[in-house]
Amino acid sequence: MNKIYPEKLKIDDEVRIIAPSRSMKILSEEIKNIANQRFFDLGLKFSFGKHVYETDEFNSTTIESRIEDLHNAFADRNVKGIITVIGGFNSNQLLKYIDWDLIKNNPKIFVGFSDITALNNAIFTKTGLVTYSGPHYSMFGQKLYFDYTLDYFQKCLMTDSPFEVKPSSSWSDDEWYLDQNKRELISNQGCLVINEGESEGTILGANLCTFNLLQGTEYFPDLRDSILFLEDDYETAPHTFDRDLQSLIHLPDFNKVRGLVIGRFQKKSNVTDNLLIKIIKTKKELDNIPVIANVDFGHSDPKITFPIGGEVKIVVEKNNAMAKIFRH
């Protein structure tokens, strides 16, 4: 595959906000006002897809409306980046209707996470365009403790320089969107070393249950020489994460995977460090590759931005781990 790395965002560039999953209508005015100011502060112009406020029984809208906004964002030469409003459950509905040639011929930054994992990996698979797992537009509406997330957004999307993923000083798993002033910070103990080793490879994955929706389709990426970045939200549990990971391991090319980086679990998932270690150690296919966990991405905050299709080097030792994203 010939990879396409989109041009980085610059001052005065326009980003388009679209809603390929849930609708923007679910966001409060406070969140939108804070998010808009953050883009102003970055020096970025922003515009919105025609259909972002449409909503239905699923807090989403029709495939036709979502596809129109996606295609228009890629086709508009004034738009240099595309950021999704929020996640949800149904972005994989769009895959059959996407004009892949349009995307390939108009490469630009595309960023989102959670349910957007389906689009991130499918776009990379079908076009070679490197996409980005990172904060939604809604996340920019966080009033407090957004500095780390913003820093890694800029490192990944506004510069070409390699960057090392360093742990945040603290993290949170609170419902910040309900009360912006009531935040609960938890001291970050750093990443969890499960298997030692050193490796380089192509980053794939992100939200595990969404990534697995692509299995057996033309939209699932080639796992050879990859390092998987995987996470899941509060709706997972130790037994569901175990079986979802096992499903991935059963794929024919999994033996070509070079490493596993796991994002931090939400507290409601009850995936503790000890349970996670036990899950990993039951899978002999993982014995000879480096595995680390509790990295700052997923459905807790803050979070890094990382490239789906980009390149990373990980070095994992007994009491220390390093992940350096050197091409993004």
Q: Taking the alpha carbons of 87, 92, 97, 98 in that order, is the dihedral positive or negative?
A: positive
Q: Which of 168, 231, 300, 311 is catalytic?
A: 231
What type of residue is 282? Answer: T
| Residue 197 three-state SS | strand
Dihedral-angle region of residue 88 (phi above 0 means left; psi in -120 to 50 means alpha; beta otherwise): left
DSSP E strand boundaries for 94-251: 109-112, 131-133, 163-164, 170-172, 185-187, 192-195, 197-207, 226-231
CA angle 31, 267, 242 (to 5 degrees): 120
Whether 299 sits among the annotated catalytic residues: the reply is yes
Q: Per-residue b/e over 140-157, b at no fewer than 16 CB within 10 Å? A: bbbeebbebbbbbbebbb
Q: What is the Cα 34 distance to its own chain's centre?
A: 21
CA nearest neighbour of 114 among 196, 26, 234: 234
| Residue 32 three-state SS | helix
Tell me the H-state helices in the chain: 29-42, 63-75, 100-105, 117-127, 147-157, 208-212, 238-249, 273-281
Q: Quickly count: other Cβ atoms within 10 Å of residue 166's Cβ.
A: 15
Q: Which of 21, 91, 114, 133 is catalytic?
A: 114
Q: Which of 51, 136, 299, 328 is catalytic?
A: 299
Q: How far apart are CA 103 and CA 99, in angstroms?
A: 7
Tell me the chain's radius of gyration from C-alpha atoms: 18
Q: Where does residue 286 rank: exposed (0-12), middle (13-18), buried (19+ CB within 10 A)?
A: buried
Q: How far apart are CA 108 and CA 82, in angstroms?
A: 7
Q: How far apart are CA 115 and CA 88, in angstroms?
A: 5
Task: Tell me the catalytic residues.
Answer: 114, 231, 299
